Amino acid sequence: MSKKTGYFFLRISMGINFFGHGLVRLTKLQDFADGMTAGFEKSWLPQVLVHAFSMALPFLEFTIGLLLMIGFKTRIAAMSGASLIVMLLFGSSTVENWEAMGIQMIYAGLFYMLISKIEDDNLAVDRK
- pLDDT value at residue 128: 65
Ordered by start, the domain boundaries in the chain are: 2-118
73: left (phi over 0), alpha (psi -120 to 50) or beta: left
What pLDDT, on the 0 to 100 scale, is given for residue 123?
A: 86
In the prediction, which pLDDT does 1 show? Answer: 59
Per-residue confidence of the chain (128 residues) as pLDDT tens digits?
Answer: 599 999 999 999 999 999 999 999 999 999 999 999 999 999 999 999 999 999 999 999 999 999 999 999 999 999 999 999 999 999 999 999 999 999 999 999 999 999 999 999 988 998 76
Q: How far apart are CA 17 and CA 99, in angstroms?
A: 18
SS3 27: coil
37 with 50: CB under 8 angstroms?
yes
H-state helical runs in the chain: 2-26, 29-39, 47-70, 74-94, 98-116
pLDDT score at 126: 87
Q: Is 118 helix (H, G, I), strand (E, B) or coil?
A: helix
Measured in whole angstroms, the distance separating CA 14 from the mean position of its chain's CA atoms is 8
